[in-house]
Chain A
Amino acid sequence: MSRTTTVFNINEELIFEKSASGKMAYSLPPLDVEDDTIEALLEPSLVRGEIEGFPEVSELDLIRHYVRLSTWNYHIDLGMYPLGSCTMKYNPKLNEKVARLGDLSGVHPLQEETLSQGNLELMFQLQVFLQELTGMDAVSLQPAAGAQGELTGLLMIRAYHVHQGKPRKYVLIADSAHGTNPASATLAGYDVISIPSNPGGTIDTSLLAERMSEDVACLMLTNPNTLGIFEVEIEKVAEIVHGRGGFIYMDGANFNALMGYARPGDMGIDVLHLNLHKTFSTPHGGGGPGSGPVACRQILAPYLPVPRVVRTGAGYSLEESPGSSIGRVHGFYGNFGMFVRALCYILSCGRTGLREISETAVLNSNYIRARLKNHYALAYHSPSLHEVVFSDKKQASNQIRTLDIAKRLIEHGFHPPTIYFPLIVRGALMIEPTESEGKAELDSFIDAMIAIAREARESPELLINAPITTKRTRVDETRAARQPILRWSPPAEAPPDEST
């Protein structure tokens, strides 16, 4: 076995297990004020004892630990990451450099506005660009992620109807929607009514007309939806909803399909969120942080969260007076570090580049669709934009399920697509290549998928047992859920360890 292989597969202990008393990876400057004992300053009853089991490691121990862990992650810089609805595009290095400029990242959120003019201008500029891209009248950058953006938009709608003297009870949600949509609606105090999709995969307008009433506050839709299909009847949808005094909330998770081609503001959308960590290239960070700015039409603008970044005569300021606002949704102004990256991305791409990005994302997805449609069952035959949804229907006759296809793809060197979502497609495989991938990478991915379709017929055990070449093989999720172990405990109290 080569050294590389050995290092790559080495079994890395938990940091707590590597700890040895007396080690440290930090050098505190000597204390330059009176060295009273803590007991002289604070009542002993307030002070804790030693933190049991807390790690003690040297700097190299620490670096090796995390570098080894890092080698077990699949990531965009390693290869294609075609997770549908997640928009796993390249995260430009310039973004990271700019976000680390100390004069931007070292600014305290509560220092005087006059001392934060650079950051306020940055936020204002991003708001202006997002307004332009979405065709909306106002933007708040505050929501920390898409789901918080949804909550913000729904609270604004609720506040509007309350202000009109008649709060409404229901929110209509397409059955293809992300799970955050109904969860956010509940949190905003609404009951959810589901709208089944029609055979074309879009909103059934006759059902919508039937369920839309004066009691419905809004319709939540995703456009293009989670099947990658544009809501072709969007004008009719808007007419139905607006006709009964309701609003349309758009989940902007799939905005990467539209830049420079269409704007939500021009299609009757009243309020939407964008995911800066999808369309605008801010990194996913292994699960976050995200950023979910909300954009809205003038009618809802008074209800946007405060504080708001506004331009004044001399510069920029934070307007805090609540007025009709729903209030704050974030401790400060949102995930500023993501604003820096998103603005950096917009400036680096420019208007032509942004349009080219959407164009390429849609082209890449349709190329995959064209080349895979004879090998995997298309969930819907309507034209799709930036993502395409297949199912395991063709493979199911060999007892091969979506999960097996996904796991086998890992051994062909790719991260699997989103699986089992949207819920309306049984055994869904949702593929979103993004614009970042070149033809060579797309071709390798397609070849791998075709090879897997063949393996499913000829040697299904390859799929059922996959992956076996990875750091870990399939894990026992049932055991994890039945007897949850959610933290490390010192050996004396630890349950029997069955690891090798």
Chain B
Amino acid sequence: MNIPEELHYTREHEWILVEDDTGTVGVTDHAQKELGDVVFVELPQRGEEIGAGEPFGSIESVKAVSEIYSPVSGQILETNSALQETPDKINSDPYGDGWIVRLRLIDRSEIKGLLSAQDYEHYLKEELAK
């Protein structure tokens, strides 16, 4: 299972990369596998403010729609507009070209509430065993 060490994770299968007060958010390798071929990504507007745990967009496969929840509170700085034309990047490179938004963190302390790579791996194992 591909779970990069340097990222933080949510139980809803998002990841966030924190650099200073900026966070880059995407969905995990496990999430893209569960969804199957991604055909459309609904992105938020730049400047929008999102609370931690709130949905800011959605990912569609042929027969499912999944909301994307923000790991932390923040303001949208940038969205990955390449996903409009090539949503399959979420499948092929979920931690790289398949990133979804960059946001400015409002409260850095929220990071502490997220899962580490190890926690997430453990959580996935529990989920799959169910």
> Per the CB under 8 Å rule, do A and B touch in the complex?
yes
A residues with a Cβ closer than 8 A to B are 420, 477-478, 481-482
Chain B interface SS verdict (over half): loop
User: Can you list 17 A-B contacts (CB < 8 A)?
Assistant: A420-B63, A477-B62, A477-B63, A478-B36, A478-B37, A478-B39, A478-B61, A478-B62, A481-B39, A481-B40, A481-B60, A481-B62, A482-B37, A482-B39, A482-B40, A482-B87, A482-B88
- Chain B residues with CB under 8 Å of A481's CB are 39-40, 60, 62
Complex Cα distance A477/B37, Å?
10
Complex Cα distance A420/B62, Å?
14
Closest Cβ neighbor of A480 among chain B residues:
B62
Closest Cβ neighbor of A484 among chain B residues:
B39
Interface residues of B in 29-68 (CB under 8 A from A): 36-37, 39-40, 60-63
- Chain B residues with CB under 8 Å of A482's CB are 37, 39-40, 87-88
Count of A-B contacts with CB under 8 A?
A: 17
In this complex, the member of B39, B60, B61 whose beta carbon has the largest number of chain A beta carbons within 10 angstroms is: B39
- Chain A residues with CB under 8 Å of B37's CB are 478, 482
Question: Chain B interface residue count: which class?
Answer: 10 to 19
- Chain B residues with CB under 8 Å of A420's CB are 63
Complex Cα distance A420/B63, Å?
10
Complex Cα distance A96/B100, Å?
54
Complex Cα distance A477/B61, Å?
10
Closest Cβ neighbor of B91 among chain A residues:
A478
Complex Cα distance A478/B88, Å?
10
- Chain B residues with CB under 8 Å of A477's CB are 62-63
15 extra interchain contacts, Cβ-Cβ under 8 A, other than A478-B61, A481-B60? A420-B63, A477-B62, A477-B63, A478-B36, A478-B37, A478-B39, A478-B62, A481-B39, A481-B40, A481-B62, A482-B37, A482-B39, A482-B40, A482-B87, A482-B88
Task: Looking at the assembled complex, report how far the CB atom of B19 sits from the nearest CB atom of chain A, in whole angstroms.
Answer: 32
Complex Cα distance A446/B123, Å?
41
Q: Beta-carbon contacts of B83-95 to A below 8 Å, as 1s and 0s?
A: 0000110000000
- Chain A residues with CB under 8 Å of B60's CB are 481
Complex Cα distance A237/B118, Å?
46
In this complex, the member of B37, B40, B88 whose beta carbon has the largest number of chain A beta carbons within 10 angstroms is: B37
Task: Looking at the assembled complex, report how far the CB atom of B2 sits from the nearest CB atom of chain A, in whole angstroms.
Answer: 21
Interface residues of B in 85-110 (CB under 8 A from A): 87-88
